[in-house]
Amino acid sequence: VSNAYLQFLKGPGTKMIFEFVKEMPKPETPIRLEIASLLGALFFTWVVLQLFPVILTSLVYEKQQKLRIMMRMHGLGDGPYWIISYGYFLALSTIYMLCFVIFGSVLGFKFFTLNDYSIQFVFYFIYTNLQISLAFLLASFFSNVKTATVTAYIGVFGTGLLAGFLFQFLVQDPSFSRGWIICMELYPGFALYRGLYEFAQSASSIGNYGTDGMRWKDLSGGANGMKEEVEKILYSS
């Protein structure tokens, strides 16, 4: 009808293009934007990574003060010593991450409340084990606490910036090689960011499109990269 009216007024060469307006008219739908979901991947990456300097500094301090030698002199072997140290840092990391998720949920951040808690628990638990293992590995390269502390914090903030302003754009670029993405995600910091990015994407899609968020059934989907991230973290560990 509109085309016929326009052709009557302007001539037969006039036409109104109706492509890509299939859903018009439609009811107004407000767009709900949550800061925690938009900025959560970068900010929460820094929050989780704050554990790394603590663990690394503690290990280097024990090495610098020769506490291991003292424990060995008192009859504590290397095996029990490392198991106790690992268990202590794992308990500390678990409590830290539980507080992280609980406070985020209490504050009502959709990043936490709308994604399956069991998926979050599995991801954070596996990653904290990887982070502790990495700290144990890197502690062997340092003999001074100050050097280890400065290096660790530079690594933490550098990882967040590179992940937020470089790695994310490469993940979103369909023309960039997936093989290179996999290689980059072998670095624990990028693997953490990718997992948090997937949580943030699921939370934001809930607000805008009314989807169900991240559930176990979604991990088999090609668009969701969480399953791959868990596998890469396990492989890196």
Q: What is the pLDDT along the chain (237 residues), one digit of tens a residue?
A: 676 777 777 777 777 666 555 555 566 665 555 666 566 788 999 999 999 999 999 999 988 888 777 777 777 777 888 898 999 999 999 999 999 999 999 988 888 888 889 999 999 999 999 999 999 999 999 989 999 999 999 999 999 999 999 999 998 888 888 889 888 988 999 999 999 988 888 877 655 445 567 777 777 665 566 767 677 777 666
pLDDT value of residue 209 = 46
Round to whole Å and give the CA distance between 157 and 167. Answer: 14
Question: Taking the mean position of all CA atoms in its chain, how far away is CA 113?
Answer: 16
pLDDT value of residue 114 = 84
The 10 Å Cβ neighbour count of residue 40 is 24
Round to whole Å and give the CA distance between 137 and 148. Answer: 12
Round to whole Å and give the CA distance between 213 and 230. Answer: 18
Model confidence, pTM: 0.77
pLDDT value of residue 36 = 61
pLDDT value of residue 193 = 93
Round to whole Å and give the CA distance between 220 and 124. Answer: 19
pLDDT value of residue 151 = 96
pLDDT value of residue 225 = 63
pLDDT value of residue 162 = 95
